C-alpha cells in the first residue's frame, strides 16, 4: 500500500522501539565477539593454517549474525511511517478516493460477512478450534477463543510442543527402564545412549518448529489435532523399537561386535543427556510462565460483545428515493469522518428504481459504510508491560548465549587439533596410545556435542521468546463506526400548483414525488485488531473484529440528521433572487394600474364583472340628471 501523507497524524507510534533497542544491543555484542577471532587470523596463518581457517569461519559467522541482529534492531527503531490509508479495510473498499490503495489490500471479510454479523448479532471472527490439542487448549483457557488469531495460534503451538515433550520423555523413561533392568539384553547399554541422542535431537527440532511464527497465522487458525498427536505417539513407540532392531543387526557382525566390546572396556564417557533435558525443561517452564501470564493478562481485557443499534420504521415523505441515499452518503456519513479521511464503502450506493408507469414505481437500495478506524490502544496493566519486556530480555539473552558457546568452541577445536597432531607425529604408535587417542577424541567429541546441543536449545527457546513477545508488541487496536442501511418502498408522482388566482399572478407548478419509505438501519461501534510489522507493510495486514458495541446515541444522531434533511426540504418553488423579486413587483404594479384605468365604450366588452356592477348601480342617477 502506498504511503499517503497527511498533515494530521493518526497517532500510531512505533511499538517496536524497546524491542529494537534490546535486539541492537545483542547484535552489537555479538559483532564485537566476532571481531576478535578475525583479528587473530593474521597471526595464526603463519603458525597453523587449519586453525586460522577455523578462526576465520567462526569470526565471519559471529560477525554476520551480529550485524544482522544489529541492523534488524536499528530498523525496528527507525521512524514508523503511517499513511492515511491504514489500516486495512474489513472488506473490499469501493470508495472512489481509495481506488489505488484498495487494490493492494487483502481484507479478511466480505461485505456479506459484515451484513451477517450485523443482522445476526454474531462475530464470525471467533471460529471453533479444530483438533484435539486445539480443543484442549481452548478448554483450559476458555477466553482464548476471543483473542486475535496470532495469539491463539502461538498458544496452540506452545501447547503442542509441551505435549510432544511430555510424551517423548515418557517414552524415554520406558526405554531407560527396559535397558537398565536388563530386559533389552546385551543391547541395553548401547541402546540407551543412542536413544538419548535421538531424544535430544527430537526435542530441539520440536521447540525450533514451535518457535516459528508465520504471517499466515494472522489469517486463520492452525489445526493442532489428532494427526500431530499420532505422529508424537508413533515416534515415542517406534523410535526405541527401530533403534533396538538396528543395533541388534549391527552386533551380529563380528567386526562391529569386537569393536563395541573394546570400546566398552575402555574409559569412554557415555552421552550425557541429563543436562540437555534439564535445559529443555527449565527453558520450557520459563517460556510457559511468560506466555501463560501474558495471555492471562490479555484475556482479562476481553469483552466479547456482539451488540448493535437498530432502527426500523415507515416514513411518508415528499422526496425522490435517490435523494435519501445521496444525503446519507454525502452528508450524514461524511459528517462523521475521522480527521477528514474518507469513509470505507463496503457496499456501494446503487439504488434500484423500478418504474412501473410514468407516475409510480418501487425502489430498493442499500449501503454499508465504515468510518476511518481511529487508533485506540488497549490500556494494558503494569504487570503485562513488565512481563512483555522481561520476555523480550530473556529471549535476547538466550540468543546471546549461543554465540558465546560458538566462541568457546574455538578453544575446544584448538585442543582437538593438538591431540591429532601429537598422535600423527608418532612414527609407530602402540595399541595403547591408539586406544588412548580414540578415547580422548571420543570424550572430547562428546563434550563438543553437548555444547552444540546446548547452543541449539538456547537458540530455539531464545527465538521462541523473541517471536512470541514480538507478537504481543505488535498488536494494534482500532475503533470505528460501522453502519448498514437498507431501504425499500414505493413512490408516486403528482402535480402541485400553488399561487393560482383569478387574475394574473405568480404561481408555482411542481411535480412532487411522494415516497413510502421503509428504512432499516443497523449500526455498531466496533473494536478491531491488527498486527504491525517493521518495514513498508507495517500496518497493512488483515484486520479482525473483536468487539461490537451498541451505540444508541450515535444512532439517534444519524436519525436526527436524516429527519432534519427531510423536514427542511422545499416542495414549492420560491423566488430567492432579488432581481426576480423586483421584476415580479413591477409586473404586479402594472397589473394594478391596468385594472384602475376607466373603461371606454370600446372597452365595455372587456370590462370586468365588478365594473359592470358599478355601471348598473350608477345608471338611474345619470338618467334623473338628464
pLDDT tens figures, 599-617:
555 544 444 445 544 544 4
Residue 266: pLDDT band with limits 50, 70, 90: low
Burial of 318 (0-12, 13-18, 19+ CB in 10 A): middle
Q: CA-CA distance, 355 to 353, in Å (whole number)?
A: 6
Q: CA-CA distance, 372 to 356, in Å (whole number)?
A: 39
> Which residues, at least 6 apart from 447, have a Cβ–Cβ distance to it below 8 Å?
412
User: What's the grid cell of residue 461?
Assistant: 527457546
Q: What backbone phi and psi angles, to 5 degrees, belong to 379?
A: -85, 85
pLDDT tens digits for 159-174? 989 988 888 888 788 7
pLDDT for residue 12 is more than 90: no
Which residue is listed with cell 578453544?
A: 411
Q: What pLDDT score does 328 carry?
A: 83
| Nearest Cα residue to 350 out of 318, 321, 312, 314 | 321
Name residue 309's beta-bridge partners: 523
Q: What is the pTM of this model?
A: 0.81
User: What's the grid cell of residue 613?
Assistant: 356592477
Residue 260: pLDDT band with limits 50, 70, 90: low
pLDDT tens digits for 511-566? 667 788 888 999 999 999 999 888 877 888 899 999 999 999 999 999 888 888 87
pLDDT for residue 153 is more than 70: yes
User: What's the grid cell of residue 297?
Assistant: 493478562
- Write out the DSSP string of 487-545: EEEEEEEEEEEES--SSS---EEEEEEEEEEEEEEEEEEEEEEEE--SSTTSS-S--EE
Return the axis-axis angle of helices 382-424 and 431-474, rounded to nearest 10°. 160
555/353: higher pLDDT:
555
Q: What pLDDT score does 151 carry?
A: 92
Q: What pLDDT score does 460 carry?
A: 93
Residue 445: pLDDT band with limits 50, 70, 90: confident
The domain segmentation of the chain, as residue ranges, is 17-79, 127-266
Q: What pLDDT score does 588 carry?
A: 67
Name residue 354's beta-bridge partners: 362
Q: What pLDDT score does 320 carry?
A: 77
Mean pLDDT confidence for 266-282: 75
23/577: higher pLDDT:
23
Mean pLDDT confidence for 467-480: 93
- Write out the DSSP string of 429-457: --HHHHHHHHHHHHHHHHHHHHHHHHHHH
Q: What pLDDT score does 271 carry?
A: 61
Q: Count Cβ neighbours within 10 Å for each residue of 90-104 and write b for 16 or more, e otherwise.
A: bbbbbbeebeebbee
Mean pLDDT confidence for 506-510: 62
Percent of the chain topping pLDDT 70: 76
Name residue 317's beta-bridge partners: 515
**Cis ω on the peptide bond leading into residue 570 (within 30° of 0)?**
no
Residue 118: pLDDT band with limits 50, 70, 90: very high
Q: What pLDDT score does 622 carry?
A: 43
Give yes or no for a contact between 30 and 71, defined as CB atoms under 8 angstroms apart: no
First-last CA distance in the chain:
105
pLDDT for residue 498 is more than 70: no
Q: What pLDDT score does 623 carry?
A: 42
Mean pLDDT confidence for 299-320: 87
Give yes or no for a contact between 284 and 211, defined as CB atoms under 8 angstroms apart: no
Calculate Rg over the CA atoms of the chain. 42
pLDDT for residue 481 is more than 60: yes
Name residue 517's beta-bridge partners: 315, 489
pLDDT tens digits for 527-536? 999 998 888 7
348/357: higher pLDDT:
348
Q: What pLDDT score does 68 carry?
A: 93
pLDDT tens digits for 194-244? 778 888 888 999 899 888 887 776 777 777 666 666 766 676 666 666 766
The CA–CA distances, whole Å, from 164 to 195, 225, 240 equal 16, 12, 16
Mean pLDDT confidence for 440-453: 82
Give the 3-state secondary structure of residue 171: helix
Q: CA-CA distance, 261 to 332, in Å (whole number)?
A: 90
Name residue 475's beta-bridge partners: 531
Give yes or no for a contact between 500 and 47, defined as CB atoms under 8 angstroms apart: no
321/268: higher pLDDT:
321
Mean pLDDT confidence for 69-85: 88
Q: What pLDDT score does 183 carry?
A: 56
Mean pLDDT confidence for 463-478: 93
Q: What backbone phi and psi angles, to 5 degrees, belong to 514?
A: -95, 115
Q: What pLDDT score does 449 carry?
A: 85
Contacts 24+ apart (CB under 8 A), 605-612: none
Residue 362: pLDDT band with limits 50, 70, 90: confident
Give yes or no for a contact between 344 and 89, defined as CB atoms under 8 angstroms apart: yes
Q: What pLDDT score does 503 carry?
A: 54
Q: What pLDDT score does 176 carry?
A: 76
248/392: higher pLDDT:
392
Q: What backbone phi and psi angles, to 5 degrees, belong to 75?
A: -60, -40
Q: CA-CA distance, 560 to 557, in Å (whole number)?
A: 5
Helices (H), 181-225: 188-210
Q: What pLDDT score does 333 carry?
A: 86
Give yes or no for a contact between 16 and 77, defined as CB atoms under 8 angstroms apart: yes
Give yes or no for a contact between 219 and 108, defined as CB atoms under 8 angstroms apart: yes
Residue 573: pLDDT band with limits 50, 70, 90: low
Give yes or no for a contact between 164 and 206, defined as CB atoms under 8 angstroms apart: yes
Q: What pLDDT score does 619 carry?
A: 45
User: What's the grid cell of residue 619?
Assistant: 345608471
Q: CA-CA distance, 456 to 197, in Å (whole number)?
A: 14
Query: With helix as H, strand as E and coil as C, how does 214-272 read?
Result: CHHHHCCCCCCCHHHHHHHHHHHHHHHHHHHHHHHHHHCCHHHHHHHHHHHHCCCCCCC
Average pLDDT of the residues of the chain: 80
C-beta atoms surrounding 503 within 10 Å: 9
Name residue 476's beta-bridge partners: 530
Q: What pLDDT score does 504 carry?
A: 53
Q: What pLDDT score does 261 carry?
A: 61
Amino acid at each position: 500500500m502506498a504511503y499517503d501523507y497527511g498533515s494530521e497524524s493518526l497517532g500510531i507510534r512505533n511499538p517496536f522501539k524497546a524491542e529494537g533497542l534490546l535486539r541492537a544491543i545483542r547484535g552489537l555484542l555479538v559483532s564485537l565477539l566476532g571481531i576478535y577471532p578475525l583479528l587473530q587470523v593474521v597471526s595464526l596463518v603463519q603458525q597453523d593454517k587449519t586453525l586460522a581457517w577455523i578462526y576465520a569461519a567462526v569470526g565471519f559467522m559471529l560477525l554476520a549474525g551480529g550485524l544482522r541482529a544489529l541492523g534488524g534492531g536499528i530498523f525496528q527503531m527507525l521512524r514508523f511511517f503511517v499513511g492515511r490509508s491504514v489500516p486495512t479495510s474489513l472488506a473490499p473498499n469501493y470508495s472512489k478516493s481509495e481506488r489505488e490503495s484498495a487494490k493492494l489490500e487483502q481484507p479478511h471479510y466480505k461485505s456479506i460477512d459484515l451484513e451477517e454479523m450485523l443482522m445476526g448479532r454474531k462475530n464470525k471472527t471467533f471460529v471453533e478450534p479444530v483438533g484435539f490439542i486445539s480443543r484442549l487448549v481452548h478448554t483450559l483457557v476458555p477466553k482464548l477463543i476471543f483473542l486475535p488469531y496470532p495469539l491463539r495460534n502461538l498458544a496452540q503451538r506452545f501447547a503442542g510442543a509441551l505435549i510432544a515433550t511430555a510424551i517423548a520423555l515418557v517414552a524415554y523413561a520406558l526405554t531407560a527402564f527396559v535397558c537398565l533392568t536388563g530386559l533389552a539384553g546385551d543391547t541395553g547399554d548401547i541402546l540407551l545412549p543412542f536413544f538419548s541422542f535421538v531424544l535430544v535431537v527430537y526435542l530441539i527440532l520440536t521447540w525450533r518448529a514451535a518457535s516459528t511464527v508465520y504471517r499466515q497465522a494472522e489469517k486463520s487458525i492452525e489445526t493442532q489435532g489428532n494427526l500431530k498427536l499420532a505422529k508424537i505417539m508413533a515416534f515415542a513407540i517406534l523410535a526405541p523399537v527401530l533403534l533396538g532392531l538396528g543395533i541388534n543387526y549391527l552386533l551380529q557382525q563380528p567386526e562391529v561386535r569386537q569393536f563395541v566390546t573394546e570400546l566398552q572396556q575402555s574409559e569412554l564417557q557415555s552421552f550425557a543427556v541429563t543436562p540437555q533435558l534439564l535445559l529443555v525443561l527449565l527453558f520450557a517452564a520459563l517460556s510457559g510462565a511468560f506466555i501463560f501470564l501474558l495471555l492471562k493478562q490479555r484475556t482479562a481485557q476481553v469483552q466479547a460483545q456482539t451488540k448493535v443499534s437498530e432502527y426500523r420504521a415507515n416514513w411518508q415523505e415528499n422526496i425522490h428515493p435517490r435523494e435519501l441515499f445521496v444525503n446519507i452518503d454525502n452528508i450524514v456519513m461524511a459528517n462523521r469522518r475521522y480527521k477528514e479521511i474518507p469513509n470505507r464503502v463496503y457496499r456501494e450506493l446503487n439504488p434500484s428504481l423500478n418504474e412501473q408507469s410514468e407516475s409510480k414505481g418501487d425502489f430498493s437500495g442499500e449501503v454499508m459504510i465504515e468510518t476511518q478506524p481511529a487508533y485506540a490502544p488497549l490500556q494494558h496493566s503494569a504487570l503485562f508491560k513488565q512481563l512483555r519486556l522481561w520476555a523480550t530480555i530473556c529471549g535476547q539473552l538466550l540468543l546471546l548465549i549461543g554465540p558465546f558457546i560458538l566462541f568457546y568452541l574455538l578453544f575446544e577445536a584448538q585442543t582437538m587439533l593438538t591431540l591429532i597432531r601429537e598422535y600423527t607425529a608418532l612414527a609407530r604408535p602402540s595399541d595403547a596410545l591408539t586406544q588412548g587417542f580414540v578415547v580422548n577424541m571420543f570424550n572430547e567429541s562428546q563434550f563438543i556435542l553437548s555444547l552444540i546441543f546446548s547452543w541449539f536449545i538456547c537458540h530455539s527457546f531464545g527465538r521462541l521468546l523473541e517471536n512470541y513477545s514480538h507478537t504481543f508488541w505488535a498488536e494494534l487496536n482500532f475503533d470505528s463506526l460501522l453502519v448498514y442501511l437498507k431501504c425499500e418502498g414505493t413512490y408516486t408522482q403528482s402535480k402541485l400548483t400553488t399561487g393560482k388566482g383569478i387574475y394574473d399572478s405568480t404561481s408555482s407548478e411542481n411535480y412532487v414525488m411522494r415516497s413510502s419509505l421503509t428504512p432499516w438501519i443497523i449500526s455498531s461501534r466496533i473494536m478491531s485488531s491488527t498486527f504491525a510489522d517493521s518495514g513498508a507493510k507495517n500496518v497493512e495486514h488483515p484486520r479482525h473484529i473483536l468487539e461490537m458495541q451498541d451505540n444508541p446515541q450515535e444512532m439517534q444522531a444519524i436519525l436526527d440528521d436524516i429527519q432534519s434533511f427531510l423536514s427542511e426540504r422545499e416542495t414549492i418553488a420560491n423566488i430567492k433572487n432579488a432581481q426576480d423579486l423586483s421584476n415580479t413587483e413591477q409586473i404586479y404594479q402594472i397589473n394594478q394600474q391596468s385594472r384602475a384605468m376607466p373603461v371606454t365604450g370600446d372597452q365595455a366588452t372587456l370590462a370586468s364583472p365588478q365594473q359592470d356592477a358599478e355601471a348598473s348601480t350608477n345608471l338611474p342617477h345619470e338618467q334623473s340628471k338628464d
